[in-house]
Amino acid sequence: MSGSDQAEAFLRIDKLIKDFAGQDGSVFRAVDGISLDIHQGEIFALLGPSGCGKTSLLRMLGGFDLPTSGRIMLGGQDQSQLAPYQRPINMMFQSYALFPHLSVWDNIAFGLRREGLPKDQVASRVDAMLKLVQLGKFARRKPHQLSGGQQQRVALARSLAKQPKLLLLDEPLGALDKKLREETQIELVNIIESVGVTCVMVTHDQEEAMAMASRIGVMSEGRILQVGTPREIYETPATRFVADFIGNVNLMDGTLEVDEAAHVEITCPDVRHYVGHGITGHTGMPVTVALRPEKIRISCRPPAQEDDMAPAPFNQVKGRVKDMVYFGSDTLYHLQLPSGAILKVTQSNTERHPDDTLSWDDEAYAWWLPSAHVVLTQ
Ligand code: ATP
């Protein structure tokens, strides 16, 4: 790592480990040596399935749990052994933890008063926060008189009022229904970006991570498997776990048959893949081909050969439509292949009356371009 990288990391998590003791004297490692650099002003999402250790990591950042070993550096200062109130860090919990008997205004003022801030400064800070989250006219209401999304914004205002250097969000939108969640995601990002605070959020919802974060760290079993922008994680997953966890994907096991610098050929039970880039590997090795459903075309007619396509019989397959799910903007097809495996294909419904509409049990052709694949070797 270069000296300039060291200078740039605003939050540096260094070989962090968290062990929990079981009742029988055994030790369970919830966080297994995580190192991570987070830049100033970014919204970083820790994403992973239940139990992967993301909350344990967040709690150590907040000071609610102390690490077994490793360090947490913020702006060059070691935070690892400090109590939560000693850190310039604030955490917004999933339940919001608003005080039900206090008004919105008093909820936001609570932490500032406890810090002993002079009255006029408390007032101006709270008013600025209310303006920021656009809840000025609800200042005198109690939390139960607000919608879920509004309560969410009060909790955010309260977390930001103390002007933390680092904001931690634990499943920030977990309590909201889907539609409200989508709207609130955008509002939340706008507010966080307008303040410029660095933010680490935890979520098991990949859409939420994709929508809100500038970068995502995908976690499994206490480790970070891949760090990247939402696009990088989606388009070039590094492992089978990441490909499968993020979005919908077809995973096909096969063998690397031809290994050239500019293309490879992979044989799977139903399909021969022509991949338009080289990979690090060797002929005969087992690999997994990941193919996103939206990168596959489907029709009742065989594909016409075009310049950008692989030569037949590569990258195409004939099957039978086993299932169709109409989502409005697109349709998901389950195409049963000769081996019995299912190929998932999504087609966007751009035309009102497409002239080759498919139906259950129809024979159909699916094909894809040499640029559509990701080849996974781990
Ligand atoms: P979820 O999305 O369900 O909250 P998570 O990814 O946040 O999951 P953690 O809460 O960090 O996961 O837990 C990671 C592992 O550590 C789990 O197996 C959990 O049972 C264990 N664990 C967490 N806290 C403790 C504790 N205080 N004592 C013992 N084990 C714990």
Q: Give percent above pLDDT 70 in the chain.
A: 96
Phi, psi of 290 (to 5 degrees): -105, 130
Please state whether beta strands 198-203 and 166-170 pair in parallel, antiparallel, or not at all (unpaired): parallel
Cα dihedral 115/118/123/129 (nearest 10): -40
Q: Which of 55, 170, 206, 221 to mutate for ligand 1's pocket (most ligand atoms within 8 Å of CB)? A: 55
Torsion of CA 61, 64, 67, 73, to 10 degrees: 30
Q: How far is the CA of 58 from the centre of ligand 1 (A)?
A: 11
- Per-residue pLDDT at 176 exceeds 80: no
How is residue 154 written in tokens? 């009060």
- Whether the CB of 55 sits within 6 Å of ligand 1: yes
Residue 60 CA, ligand 1 centroid: distance in Å:
12
- Ligand 1 atom nearest the C-alpha of 204 is 2
3: confidence class by pLDDT, cuts 50, 70, 90: very low
Angle at CA of residue 344, ends 340 and 346, nearest 5°: 150
pTM: 0.88
pLDDT of amino acid 4? 45
d(CA 263, CA 279): 8
Cα(30) to ligand 1 centroid in Å equals 7
Tell me the longest C-alpha to C-alpha distance in the chain. 76
For residue 325, the tally of other CB atoms under 10 A from its CB is 10
A 10 A CB-CB count for 116 gives 7
- pLDDT band for position 354 (cuts 50, 70, 90): low
If DSSP states are collapsed to H, E and C, what string results for 356-371? CCCCCCCEEEEECCCC
Residue 5: per-residue pLDDT: 47
Q: What is the mean pLDDT of residues 2-23?
A: 79
Query: Exposed, middle or buried, 343 (CB in 10 Å: 0-12/13-18/19+)?
Result: buried
Cβ 175 vs Cβ 96: under 8 Å:
yes
Determine contact, residues 212/43, Cβ cutoff 8 Å: yes
Question: Ligand 1 within 6 A of 20 CB?
Answer: yes
Closest atom of ligand 1 to CA, residue 55: 7
Q: Tell me if residue 108 falls in helix, strand or coil.
A: helix
Q: Domains of the chain, with CATH numbers?
A: 6-242 (3.40.50.300), 248-376 (2.40.50.140)
Q: Which atom of ligand 1 is nearest to the CA of 22?
A: 29
Distances (CA, A) of 14 to 11, 38, 95, 192, 324: 10, 11, 29, 25, 48
* pLDDT attached to residue 355: 60
Strands 373-376 and 363-367: unpaired
Q: In this model, does residue 196 exceed pLDDT 70?
A: yes
Residue 57 CA to ligand 1 center (angstroms) comes to 10
CB of 222 shorter than 6 A to ligand 1: no
Task: State in Å: Cα 112 to ligand 1 middle.
Answer: 31
What are phi and psi for residue 267, nearest 5 degrees? -100, 125
Report whether residue 26 contacts ligand 1, using a CB cutoff of 6 Å.
no
For range 277-291, the mean pLDDT: 93
What 3-state DSSP class applies to 160?
A: helix
Type and span of the H or E element at 3: helix 3-8
d(CA 306, CA 323): 28
Which residue has the least CA distance to atom 7 on ligand 1?
A: 55
Gap between the Cα atoms of 19 and 83, Å rounded: 19
Per-residue pLDDT band for 325 (boundaries 50, 70, 90) equals very high
Average the pLDDT over 180-209 and give the result: 89
Averaged over 314-331, what is the pLDDT?
93
Structure letter (DSSP) for residue 308: T
User: Are residues 170 and 92 in contact, defined by beta-carbon separation less than 8 angstroms?
Assistant: yes
Question: Does the CB atom of residue 50 touch ligand 1 within 6 A?
Answer: yes
Task: Evaluate: CB of 327 within 6 angstroms of ligand 1.
Answer: no
245 CA to centre of ligand 1 in angstroms = 19
Measured distance CA(14)–CA(26) in Å, rounded: 25
- Our measurement of the distance from residue 365's CA atom to the centroid of its chain's CA atoms, rounded to an integer in Å, reads 33
Taking only Cα atoms into account, the Rg of the chain, rounded to an integer number of angstroms, comes to 25
Residue nearest to atom 20 of ligand 1 (CA): 51
**Site to substitute for ligand 1 among 52, 205, 223, most atoms within 8 A of C-beta:** 52
Q: In angstroms, what is the span from residue 201 Cα to ligand 1's centroid?
A: 16
Q: What are phi and psi of 127, to 5 degrees?
A: -65, -40
pLDDT in tens, 295-313: 999 999 999 888 888 888 9
**pLDDT tens string 133-167:** 889 999 999 999 998 888 888 999 999 998 999 99
pLDDT exceeds cutoff 80 at 353 = no
pLDDT value for 22:
82
The answer to whether 374 and 237 are in contact (CB under 8 A) is yes
Instruction: Select, from the ranges 94-108, 164-178, 182-196, 220-234, the one with the highest average predicted confidence (pLDDT).
Output: 220-234
Kind plus residue range of the DSSP H or E element containing 252 = strand 250-259
Write down the H helix ranges in 115-177: 119-132, 148-161
Please give the mean pLDDT across all residues of the chain. Answer: 91
- pLDDT one-digit tens code per residue, 77-106: 999 999 998 999 999 876 667 899 999 999
Q: How far apart are CA 274 and CA 169, in angstroms?
A: 43
Has residue 2 got a pLDDT over 50? Answer: no
